[in-house]
């Protein structure tokens, strides 16, 4: 024998808890993403810690944990350290002013928008990006980020000045997600 009224009150409370928990998770994620973006846009760990009144260690942990788990050679480039001439996106040629974020590999860069376009090209050859081409298996072109070639499980797409494979695109997407950066395309 269960009291229906009490039961429905209990169920409503349970629903409130799960909503609150979900909101808390989202707020935490947003907090972390924004701290990383502050750092990416040029603020020092010390400045961020002081402005938010949290410890340096906490901020340091957040900004260094970003992307370190994926692959050491791929990382987001802080806008402050971008120079227009030296660091254009290897796929569309956009420089500092044209991009929100660049991801750097060994001497090569890709912007957030091109990451999304490359993914489209990998899914659908007849995509809207005439400058992007899938690299044939017979080609000697390698992924500029990991140096691997097109193979059974690896698609490589070439842009204007660089190539990237599907595995490295996935890593780029994870890095962008850590910063809460969505491509505009």
Binding site for Zn ion (CB under 5 A): 89, 91-92, 94, 111, 114, 143, 145-146, 165, 168
Output the smallest distance, CB 124 to Zn ion, in A. Answer: 19
Output the smallest distance, CB 127 to Zn ion, in A. Answer: 15
Supply the DSSP symbol for 78.
P
Q: Which is nearer to Zn ion, 52 or 94 (CB)?
A: 94
The DSSP string of 151-170 is: BTTB-EEE-SS-EEEHHHHH
Q: Which is nearer to Zn ion, 91 or 132 (CB)?
A: 91
CA–CA gap between residue 54 and residue 51 (Å, rounded): 8
Q: Which residue has the tokens 């050679």?
A: 73
Output the smallest distance, CB 147 to Zn ion, in A. Answer: 7
Q: Which is nearer to Zn ion, 43 or 164 (CB)?
A: 164
Output the smallest distance, CB 36 to Zn ion, in A. Answer: 21
Sign of the Cα torsion 113, 118, 123, 124 reads positive
CA–CA gap between residue 88 and residue 84 (Å, rounded): 6
Q: Which is nearer to Zn ion, 38 or 164 (CB)?
A: 164
Tokens standing for 153?
Answer: 């499980």
């Amino acid at each position: 024998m269960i009291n229906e009224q009490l039961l429905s009150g209990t169920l409503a409370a349970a629903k409130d808890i799960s909503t609150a928990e979900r909101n808390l998770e989202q707020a935490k994620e947003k907090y972390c993403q924004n701290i990383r973006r502050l750092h990416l846009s040029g603020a020092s760990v010390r400045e961020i810690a002081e402005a938010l009144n949290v410890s340096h260690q906490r901020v340091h942990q957040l900004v260094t944990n970003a992307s370190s788990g994926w692959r050491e050679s791929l990382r987001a480039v802080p806008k402050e350290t971008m120079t227009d001439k030296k660091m254009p996106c290897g796929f569309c040629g956009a420089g500092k002013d044209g991009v929100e974020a660049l991801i750097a590999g060994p001497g090569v860069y890709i912007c957030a928008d091109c990451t999304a376009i490359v993914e489209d090209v990998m899914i659908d050859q007849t995509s809207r990006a005439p400058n992007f081409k899938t690299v044939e298996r017979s080609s000697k072109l390698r992924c500029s980020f990991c140096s691997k070639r097109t193979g059974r499980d690896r698609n490589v797409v070439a842009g204007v000045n660089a190539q990237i494979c599907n595995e490295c695109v996935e890593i780029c997407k994870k890095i962008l997600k850590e910063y809460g950066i969505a491509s505009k395309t």
